[in-house]
Amino acid sequence: MTSGQNFEQKSAGESGRLPPVIDGPVLNIAIMGLGNYGHMIADAMKYCKRAKIAGAISGSPSKIKEWQSKYSIPEKNCYTYENFDEVKNNPDIDAVYIITPNSQHHGQCLRVAAAGKHVICEKPMAINATEGQEMVDACKKVGVKLLIGYRMHFEANTLEIIRMRNASEFGAIKFFQGLCGFKIDESAKNRLNYETAGGGAMMDMGIYAINGSRYMVGEEPVWVTAQEMKTDPEMFKERVDESITFQMGFPSGAVASCLSTYAANFLDKFFLLGEKGFAEMQPATGYYPIQAWTHNGKLEMGHDSHQTTQMDQMAMIILDGIKPTIPVDGEEGVKDMKIIDGIYKAVKTGQKVMLNL
């Protein structure tokens, strides 16, 4: 039996828990973009069995020095944004995790793929579906993997709810609600700049509700409508959304109603309703322990570091060919980008936009 088959047998489809990390080779990863989340990923990999921080890529010499010291990274495995194509000739690095502003993902992914290294890219994978598809095509052309940083796809409570849905414990799914956002301040310059973020709250927070609606309902949406609210046009310039409510329809007749915002805190909630039961998560996507309930009571699935779990599982996807319960590949990312494109079009036109994922 291959490791991939073994994973599928022991996956969350049966127990709601991920399988044990399989012994095997280690994936050596260079982090591109040494900000707060880059540190979080690198710190999490200290506890991984199958993934290791092996390199660093940054435009800041001082950050490179800091990472060399903190994570014991040799100088030969450190690169700038200008010369990281040279990773092609470095056997110490197997993959590059791109954690830079959204607008940079596309070009950096193409360069990493051309260097023959696997790509892990933070979400959103790009600023539109066209860029996302070009990233998928570039990686396929040279035979490297492209994975998107969907850490919630490996979270135990999430997977248990999906197991229950697949076992028809909720009955036919009728409704999903996703509320995602926080109150941003003016110091978050990259997030409030269209040239770097490619949008506003939708790119940063709305993608959680978009992606969550798909894996919670278990279908692909076929239409979307959306409405934008902007109370502070000074902070939220043109093409940088402050708040968007959006609705999606699914082939079964299920509907989703979601909110993406930079204007309010305490918004991290999923609610799934079926004919026979429900599931609720709050917080639903944050870094801290996820809290979840169903019509049967509170779920007690425990909490492991999302990033440690993600990196070990992604290493096994790349090195062992395992198949996760919820995909994390580039095609999954493109589907979310198509929905975001549709939401922005619906906001602009005021009309229902049909989707073809």
- Active-site residues, by number, are 123, 208
d(CA 113, CA 91): 15
Encoded amino acid at 12, one letter? A
**253 burial class (0-12, 13-18, 19+ CB within 10 angstroms)?**
exposed
In angstroms, rounded to a whole number, what is the distance separating the alpha carbons of residues 151 and 287? 9
Q: Is the distance from CB of 241 to CB of 202 less than 8 angstroms?
A: yes
Tell me the residue type at 209. A
HSE-CB at 50 with a 13 A cutoff on CA atoms is: 19
Alpha helix stretches (DSSP H) within 168-297: 194-197, 201, 207-217
Say if residue 193 is exposed, middle or buried (CB neighbours under 10 Å; 0-12, 13-18, 19+).
Answer: middle
Angle at 166 between CA 150 and CA 159, to 5 degrees: 35
Contact 52, 26 (CB under 8 A): yes
How many angstroms separate the CA atoms of 219 and 252, rounded?
A: 8
Q: How many CB atoms are located within 10 Å of the residue 255 CB?
A: 18
